[in-house]
A = this chain, B = another copy of it.
Amino acid sequence: MDVTELRGRDLVCTQDWAVDELEAVLDLAARMKARRYSDEDAEILRHRTFMMMFYNSSLRTRQSFEAAASELGGHAQFLEPSKLRIKTKTSSGEVLRDTAKVMSRYACGIGIRILEDSVEAYGDGDAFLREFAELADVPVVSMAHDKFHPCQGLADVLGMRERLGDTRGKTLLQIWGYSPMVRSWSSVQESLLVNSRLGMNVRLAFPEGYDLDPDVIGRTKANCDAAGVDFEITHEQEEAYDGVDVVYSRHWMHPDRYRIGREGDQKLAAENRDWRTTMERMSRTNDAVFVHPMPVDRGNEVDDDVCDSERSLLYDIAENRLHVQKAIMALTMAG
């Protein structure tokens, strides 16, 4: 594939890119990881500015994007939009078009993080990101939003491949874990889409009622069909682990979360405290690796000994965020 075709492209969800484009990212990320700090990558964004707009605060995402820009010779500006005077329905201020057009004059690319707590209804964050991307003249990349988290999804894939080799035909268990932390659907939905697309069998397991976005589920099924692999949904926690190659455990919020609020969601979640990845449950798998996008709620979502076992990919995948993001920036934003 001619990667120059990726110049100027936005990345809101991996589903928006062709498979060979995603493979180009994964391939470059792996090479950049192997040659970290080498001259080869040192000038890719030389003195260029990547702007990060955090409608929600973040630990890993800010650190990894800011480091990614630095390692490519550029600089990431950390912007908190509560301080940006952007017009809303109820306040005077600058229209989004003006913000996006001017940022495009200063920056080589723009990252946006906008999660549940910053929007009124599911999908508003995704719509905001796509509107901003449409208005901006430089690439816009999701740094996690209410629907998707493409950089996390690609970091997951890279981590699984590092340990398992080709994941095509292997089985991913995407399973709900208890936590009071009321987490976004973004990482989980991205994982369903990208891994089905890249040819993994997908088993989705959660307590009844914790359904994800039906549109994403439909697209995941279609991805599996297209790749000739299986997709199934189960509410049986124990059996879900049987024979899988990857266990991806993670809390996600209830679909009623926007209506019932954080506390209502926490109350619902508490009814499923037993949904937790344990070593015993891991023993039902095909010696599976353990995946989680972090931060982990240890003792709730998953036990300590799973996190710290030799089969845990926690830190490798967290590190891969950096490499994947460097690759995306290099392919879409380089001069």
Chain B residues with CB under 8 Å of A95's CB are 296, 298
Residue in B37, B84, B106 whose CB lies within 8 Å of A322: B106
Interface status of A75 (Cβ within 8 A of chain B):
yes
The complex places the Cα of A127 from the Cα of B291 at a distance, in Å, of: 31
Looking across the interface, which residue of chain B has its beta carbon closest to that of A83? Answer: B57
- How many copies of the chain does the oligomer comprise? 3
Does A318 lie within 8 Å of B59, measured CB to CB? no
Looking across the interface, which residue of chain B has its beta carbon closest to that of A108? Answer: B37
Known pairs A73-B47, A92-B300, A107-B67; A102 contacts B181 (CB<8 A): no
Known pairs A66-B75, A77-B67, A92-B181; A102 contacts B294 (CB<8 A): yes
* Shortest CB distance A329–B (Å): 13
* Shortest CB distance A292–B (Å): 10
Q: Identify whether the interface residues of A are mostly helix, strand, loop, or mixed.
A: mixed
* Shortest CB distance A128–B (Å): 17
Interface status of A85 (Cβ within 8 A of chain B):
yes
Interface status of A14 (Cβ within 8 A of chain B):
no
Q: Chain A contact residues (Cβ within 8 angstroms of B): what range?
A: 35 or more
* Shortest CB distance A103–B (Å): 7
Q: Which of A298-330 contact B (CB under 8 A)?
A: 298, 300, 307, 314-315, 318-319, 322
Chain B residues with CB under 8 Å of A142's CB are none
Residue in B79, B93, B294 whose CB lies within 8 Å of A94: B294
Can you list 8 pairs linking A and B with CB atoms under 8 Å apart? Answer: A37-B46, A47-B70, A47-B73, A57-B83, A59-B83, A67-B75, A98-B295, A102-B319
